[in-house]
Structures are given as structure tokens and as C-alpha cells.
Amino acid sequence: MPPEDRRPLENVVILGSGCAGLTAAIYAARANLEPLVVMGVEMGGQLSLTTDVENYPGFPEGVQGPELIDLMRRQAERFGARFAYGDATAADLSERPFIIEIEGEPVRTKALIVCSGASARMLGIPGEKRLLGHGVSTCATCDGAFFRDQEVIVVGGGDSAMEEAIFLTRFASRVYVVHRREALRASKIMQDRAFANEKIEFLWNTHVVEVLGDPEVEAVRLWNSESDEKREIPIDGVFIAIGHVPNTEIFERQLPLDAQGYLVLKEAGRSLTEVDGVFAGGDVHDHFYRQAVTAAAAGCRAAMDCEKYLERVGEAPETSAAHSATPSGGGGLAGTMRAVVKVGDEGGREGTELRDVPIPEPGPGEARLKVLACAICGSDRHIWHWDESVQDLVDPPRVYGHEFCGEIDAVGASPGRDDLAPGAYASAEMHVTCGTCRQCRAGQGHVCARTEIIGFHRDGTFAEYVVVPTRNVVILDRQVVPPKVGAFLDALGNAVHTVQDHDLTGASVAILGYGPIGAMAAAIAEHERASRIYVLDVSEAAIEQAERWKAERSAHQVTVLKTGRDVAGEVETRILDETVGGVDLVLEMSGAAAAINQGLRLARMGGSMSLLGLPTDEAVTIERFAHDLVFKGLTLNAIIGRRIFSTWERMLALLASGLDVTSLVTHEHESLEAFPEAMEAFDSHEALKTVLYPNGQNGQRNGR
């Protein structure tokens, strides 16, 4: 028997994660088919690149494209759909089971649903490919904000081009629409909107023949086909919106394609292709409607046809294991694990349960780790209380928690990650990059508005096992990073991010808020030999914890000050006098408006300020920000934009050089059963950093 025949056999693989693919996943998952969804290089499809969607049923006020995609993905995941990050790079449909290669790794499947959509068409001109991601873009939604107060061009004359141009006027000072004809192809309503926008100027009968610049776009070379005039114009960004090419390359000579490369179906109104067991839905075959709602309908048809096909050939599964945090009733039976689960809309103990849930299985591009240690953080507190800020992110039932370290237990097909051997000691970045924005496409993974968070959007780490993307896994040295510290590396990464661009040697630092991340930032500043470290908080408990840490470290350069409305002026005067005009770096951790305003006052001319919290009221005004940013010349930093992988490199280097944060762990618990008490201690500020050991400190709970 060939080696690949011993690989797990999927019921159905769905290629694509747009409207069609996710709808197919919802229907297939509800039919107990446990579909494996291959996300593709354009995760979320074209809809994830769209701003306001006003014509999708059920959203009278409209909905953002990425938000709609996220809702559909979470719905599919709730019913048991699994997701593989990467692209389908090859397919063999000559016999069943079919073989689909995901980033070069073969996966066997009984059936295949192709919803791979269509990708943006490029101009094919000099400089375009070289400068893609460096000023050339196919997505205004992703990249528009990078061109604030700059001049850009949009190439194209259809609805997509008009939508891109109108969106870009939110940021750019001028938008040129370059169209090769003398009339637009866009719908009348989109034309009217574009013509009415004073920021948009049209260049008719004009072609872009070259993009110029190094290393960023600096200009474009244009040719007017009517006058034969050639000229160069300086420009900062080039947005290409000239249509799409169906993603069907891997099916050439295996499935019928039309002259434009779209899949040809056997009959109208169905999803069947010429190969029995292969189905299609969405823009991969539809070059007429190309709407989100028609793509969703096509995905539904494909899943239903697939279900009937598997029943007809006698390969439909009778039952299906759940892939979400649902009760198993197993009470420690094989195949289950203990986990802390957010179960409903109530806060506190009533809305959280310790349950036996199925042990998750890693798919392609994923690894399962036995959790050795996990830690409670402020985000978990929001879920515990079921704050309004997390209700749109977390879909109960959900295993939550997103700080941990563990040992690799199983790995799905993951090209390039041969280091992920069973038993390896590791942790993982808990933010899953979107893969679609400018920075991500350039290989600079960062936190953005589209980033998924493990423990929010998918099951987290308060469990005996957790599944994470292999690209996020970081191998650790246990001698440098013991489990007690490995449990909260994600939080430590946030602290490292706040100071990543600063040389703290000899610098003055003010830390506003001595919670867990504030405490870690103080430890980093002390380790990096900052000359003065001011720790400010309004809480007596936090002040006591800071004083204990200062005494333990004999950190004479640290000054701990209780602030608040009555003493804020006195505290600020003291700091401004001692630093002769203000501190070099302010780290604001709470999001409290009073603290943000205080930080603005404490920063010196030309200093920096990092924000980890979100303002909780409107007491921080744009006038205040503008005054201090402009007239003080401050540099502002925030968690959105955190450079994920360089942050880990800096963090591990600090730990290897002797950064000591073990004293910040004030409470430890031998099992998940202690979670409610641990959370309440954390919530009351009795605990600074709390670590739990789901499998016991020896990692052998229940014989696992």
C-alpha cells in the first residue's frame, strides 16, 4: 500500500474561504461531513477586500466585507468545519480518493468542492510586480490608510475601480482614475458618485505603461492612445482594479474550462462538474453575476450536491465528532480533555464552566500541543465578565485563554516546519495574521484589525490541549524559558512591543498602570538599565505589588507613586522637575482617559508614548492629542501594528540575556479546577500574574 494511502481520508475538501466556500462549509458541517476548508492565499476571497456591503440580505445598515466573512467563518467553525492555512498547489482528480496538495503536502478526500474564486488581474507592465506591496496594490481597503495626504491613481473603469477610488478619497489628497477608454463601464450609480467627488480626477484614453521608483513607487509613465502623448507624473500609490482571473490553474486538463479559464458546469442551476465527486460554486464558474449572495447560494448548492453524492456512493459518515467546545458527557473518557469554556451570555461563574470536550485534531498547517502551563490575562477578564467589547468576537461555547506553553503532540502537514517534532517544547503567537494587507503580503506579519485571536475567534489555551497554526509556533529552550514564564509569553510580547524601537539605556520611563503588562514593562526597563523608572497607579494593591518588586530587585532607580485626581498635579510636577522637562518614554497601560492625558503631559519634547489600552470615554480629545503630537513632536505607538515575529525575536533575546520576570507570578494552581478562584483573585488585583498547570506541573494528569 503506498504511504499516502495511510493518510487520514477527508470526507470533503473545500477550496476557498470566500462567501461560496464558507457557505459550503456551513452546510457540509451541518451534514456531519466535517469539511476541511483550504483558506487560500486570498483568505476571505474578494469580499474581505470590500468595505461597505449594502446589498447582502439581513444587514439593513450594511456590513463591512471582512466582518461578514468573519461571521460566516465562525458559523462554519461552530458546526465543525476545520480550516487549513495555505493554498492548494496541485490536484489529481484521475481517481478516487482525490489528492489535493496544500502547499505541497498531499491530502486525500472522497469529494472536492471548488470555491477558489478569482484573483485580481494585473497589468503586466514593468515595475508592477517589483513594487507590489511597495506602493502597488490591488486592495484599497487593505492599503488605503498608508497613503494619507498623498496622491494615488486607480486603474480601471468598472464598479470595482469606482469603489476603490471613492474609498481612497478618505485618505488620499488626490485620486486619479486612469481609464483606457473615453467612457466608464461602471454602473450609473457608481459613476455618479465618482463624478461628484471633488478629489477624483479622470484621465481618459490613458494607459499606465510603467511603474517607476525604488524601493517605493515614485511615479508612473502614461500613454494617451488618442493624442499619442507620453508623460510621467509623480505618484505615491498605484491601485489596480481591472478585473479578475479565475483560480483554476491546477485544474487545467482535468476539468472543462471556458476560454477565460472559468470552470464549466454540467448543467445550469447545479454544481456538478464533469468529474463525479467534484463540485464548484461562486466566482470560479460565475463570470456574470459575481455577487456575494449568488456566491453563497452556489456554495449551498455545492454542499448539498456533495452530501447527496456521498450518500449515493455509500460513503456518507454516520456520525461526526464535534470540533467545538460542546459537552461530551465523557467525564475523562478517551478522546476528551478538560477545558474552561465560556458557555453563555452571563458573566462570572454562571457563564463559565469546566467541561469535558473533544481533544482537537490538527489539520494541515496546524499543530496540537499539550498545554504545560497557561496564564490569565486582562482579555480573559473581559470574557469572564462578558463585557460588551468582546461579545462580537467570542461565539460561545468557546474554550478561552490565549497565553501558554507546552509540548508538541501532533502536527498536520506543514512544509518548512521540520523542527516541530513530537515532544518539542514550544509556545505560539496567539495573533493569527490576516495574510491580505500590505504588510502581511510583504512577509511582515503584524497585528491589525483583521487579526484573529486564539481564545477569542477560535478555541484557546485553558485546556489540556490546544491547536494552533504551525507558522505561529515558536520552539523554546526550557533552560531559558521555564514553563512558569513560558505561560505568559504573549503578554510579555505586548510589553516588549511597547519598547521595541527604543534604546532604554540611560533613558527615563514612566509606566502608567502596574497591571501584568505594566509590571513586565517595568522589568524590561530595569533590565535595559533605564536611568529613571516611574511607576504610577491609582490602586493601593498595585502600588503595594510595585513596591514589593522594587524591593526584591533592589531597583533604586525605580520610583513608585500613587496617582489620582487629588494628587496628579503634585506627582506630575515632581516627575517633570526630576527629569528636567519630561520623560523619554511613556507607557500607558490602562486605557483610562485621565492616564492618557497624564502621559501626554509627562512626555518630554520629542519623546515617545505607547498605548496598550483603549480609551474608555471621550475625555481624550483630538485637540489634546493634536496639540501634544504636533507641538511636542511626540511619536505615538500602539498594539495595533505590533510586529509579531520580530517581537518574539527581541523577547527571547531579552530572556536569554537574563531578563527575570518570574517574580511577577504571584499565584500558581495545579489544575484547571482552580480557574474560578484564580480569576476572582486576578480580577480583584490580589494576583498580578496567575499560572495554571492543566496537566499538573509534571505534565502527567490523568495519565496523559
Rounded to 5 degrees, what angle do the CA atoms 429, 434, 437 make?
Answer: 130
Give dist(CA 704, CA 700) in Å, integer: 5
CB atoms within 10 A of CB 566: 7
* Whole-number Å distance between alpha carbons of 601 and 678: 37
CB 240 within 8 A of CB 122: yes
- Among residues 115, 139, 300, 405, the one annotated as catalytic is 139
Q: How far is CA 327 from the centre of its chain?
A: 28
Decide: 460 and 399 in contact? Cβ < 8 Å.
Answer: yes
CB atoms within 10 A of CB 666: 17
Q: What HEC string does 475-529 produce? A: ECCCCCCCHHHHCCHHHHHHHHHHHCCCCCCCCEEEEECCCHHHHHHHHHHHHCC
What are the strands, taking DSSP E only, across 195-236?
200-203, 206-212, 219-224, 230-234
Candidates 19, 115, 142, 440; catalytic one = 142
* Residue 377 is a catalytic residue: no
Q: Determine how many CB atoms are found less than 10 A away from the CB of residue 164.
A: 28
CA distance linking residue 580 with residue 573, whole number of Å: 10
Cα–Cα distance for residue pair 554/530, rounded to 1 Å: 14
Cell numbers at residue 218, please? Answer: 515614485
CB 47 within 8 A of CB 292: yes
Note the maximum CA span of the chain. 82
- Cα–Cα distance, 11 to 433 (Å, whole number): 28
Q: Can you tell me the distance from the alpha carbon of 84 to that of 79, in angstroms, rounded to the nearest whole number?
A: 16
Cell representation of residue 547: 513596591
Amino acid letter at 35? P
SS3 676: helix
Give the DSSP per-residue string, 56-74: STT-TT-EEHHHHHHHHHH
Cα separation, 159 vs 408, in Å, equals 48
Residue 477 backbone zone (phi > 0: left; psi -120 to 50: alpha; other: beta): beta
How many Å apart are CA 444 and CA 478, to the nearest integer?
Answer: 27
Between the alpha carbon of residue 239 and those of residues 351, 383, 586, 650, the distances in Å are 47, 40, 38, 35
Cα dihedral across residues 64, 65, 70, 76: positive or negative: positive
Sign of torsion over alpha carbons 615, 618, 619, 621: positive
Please pick, among 143, 283, 380, 628, the residue that the annotation labels catalytic: 143
Report the C-alpha gap between 376 and 87 in whole angstroms: 35
Active-site annotation holds for 115: no
To the query of whether residue 139 is one of the catalytic residues in this protein, the response is yes
Residues with a catalytic annotation lie at 139, 142-143
